[in-house]
Structure 1
Amino acid sequence: MISVEHLTKRYGRHTAVDDVSFHCEPGTVTGFLGPNGAGKSTTMRMICGLTPPSVGAATVLGRPYRQLPNPGREVGVLLDASAQHAGRTGREALTVAAATMGVGRREVAVKLEQVGLTGTAAKRRVRAYSLGMRQRLGLAHALLGDPRVLILDEPANGLDPEGIFWMRGLLRDFADRGGTVLLSSHLLREVEAVADRLVVIGGGRIVAQGGKDELLAGDRTLVRARDAAALRRALAAAGLAASDGTDGSLLVPATAETVGQAAADAGVPLSELRPAEGGGLEQLFLSLTTNSIPQEAAR
């Protein structure tokens, strides 16, 4: 499992990640979502021991990542598909990784076949790979040690629709066999299709987390007023985030009673107030993260 407790990262006066806590359990895929600049990658780098936290701690399988004796055999990590030796072939890159982890060479061929890099593709130098091929090689590297945990940052970048569908099945199968997956992606529909749990970060802070079904069934309200600017100010004063709906409406992640009270307190007359129909993960994401990104936030 993955345990994140009060992780904070400051760069001078700027706080990139602010008191982030969540857990990823075996047998689940956790979707880690947030707009660019929200702190997703910084959080994942802290989990993997690449960026030291200013406050807090993270453990994988009960230990800090750096204390794992052979981390590649326990945790498969893909944070940047481009961070691979461009002069080696795909097969050579994986063979070096296998030797480092103490994995038999036979597993190199097995994993290359699993990710669809066989024949000519395996013999091609990485510098000639497309982004999608680099993603597949990165996934092969992450899977090479038969780990119990996968930590993946935007692994679907560059994959075609068929590749995305394949990756979804791979991650679902991994979790169904008892593995733990932490998945960051901007492809919300794909996350919605594969994830069991969601952690949403905005402006460096967790704005929502829980079971996917629970969060998608949460209270959301569609509200409209002739004076849209005054309505926005009223909602902001009440601490309610709002995202643009249709025809000048706003979508608010709160009950109709709470939204109506905020408008009434500010003296803003409403022309429409009703529970919003389910809009899926995309609509939930927008309602939670709109206006949550600091101007100088680091991704």
Structure 2
Amino acid sequence: MILLSVIVPAYNNENDISIILDAFSKQTLDADQVEYIIVNNNSKDNTKGVVNEYAKNLPITVRCVDENNIQSSYAARNAGIRAAQGNILLFTDSDCVPEPEWAARMLDAFDRPEIGIVGGAIQASHGDSLVERFSSEANVLSQEHSLKNPYLPFFQTANVAYRREAFQKAGLFRSRLKTGGDADMCWRVQKSTDFELRYCAEAKVLHRHRTTLAGLNEQFSRYGRSSVYLNRLYGTEIQPEPRTQYFIRKGVSWAFLHLPITLAKRLAGQATNIDLFREPLRLYIRWCRKTGISSAETAGLPKELDIEYLG
């Protein structure tokens, strides 16, 4: 009997979707109790074909469904929810690698009917690039940050599970949102139901951080847009970023004061590349977030944010 449905949105993942499928095949949860649903979100490559072919040789139930109408990970998750058989719906992302006990521990965490949402830990996988190591040090995507949100705690969809009943009562993800839907969904459940949240630190996924500056830009500008969307929806505070002059002043200070000292230490083996570039990378992600805020304030909320309900 299927108790748990694992749902993963996928877009143009033909080259790496096998990584998470392999991780699913190593889960300790009884294979008869879980299904794995990959949602092909209008991929331009052969993601769907790769999933279907690769799954033939795995000892687990893998299904690939399509969401080709709306290009959004939240729309893809909704398609997965509608296709799911389990009463517990567990989400992760295609760039994550769950540990073997992950699914079992997330399912076990729903040990009381009052528990409606369970979040697991998101840890960095080991990466070699400077950008990956910086993101790991900065605890990017850490659930601990989102749990401390001053409005209401929330879990990121890289590692979160909901009872099916939560979607029946609070509605599905807003399909047209491109960012901020993690918080929006979690907050709607808290505001419209009596369900409780639980954090299960033992249920871990490893997240592959962005490897390039362009990837960091996309990620943190999205965070900036998210803060504006949530402000428009809930009245939450937008943490402002400094004026442009601040970034110029800090950049010049780093180049003429910090860089020469740290470079000398690096040549002497007393500092790392992260020590060398930590400050400009911190400035860079703040600048990216600033541009995201600016673009969202100009464009406003996406249209058609009506909430659909699961029957």
> Shorter-chain TM-score category?
under 0.3
For normalisation by structure 1, the TM-score amounts to 0.26
Structure holding more helix per residue: 2
Structure holding more strand per residue: 1
Pick the structure with greater CA Rg: 1
Relative contact order, higher structure (CA 8 A, sep 6+): 1
For normalisation by structure 2, the TM-score amounts to 0.25
